[in-house]
Amino acid sequence: MPLASLTKIISSLAALDFVALDETIETARGEHFEVRDILAMIMVESSNGAVETLFHHVVQKNHIEQEYARQWFLNQMSKKAEALDGRGMIFSTIDGTDASENSA
């Protein structure tokens, strides 16, 4: 069963391998937040937008081509889950939302 909140936890942990808590992120709207504040939005509000913001920051910081960015990050999530003994976890999206109308 897909669990969006669990997916967000793994997304956050995977991102923390690449960013510091006090690092500043600029959102698409030009707002500035520290990583710790983005993580609070993810954990408390289960914010899909906050996951996207963190994802885009990590991808940009690591110079990952946009074409490959989502798959790269999904691979990072799988590695993190496996490192935490979460073998068998499958991620289709970075925020746990349904992958398509027919696939969770």
Q: What's the mean pLDDT when you consider all of the chain?
A: 91
At residue 92's C-alpha, the angle toward residues 91 and 93, to 5°, is 100
pTM of the shown model: 0.89
| Range in 60-64, 69-73, 98-102 the model is least confident about | 98-102
Looking up tokens 């940009």 gives: 60
Q: What average pLDDT score do residues 12-40 get?
A: 96
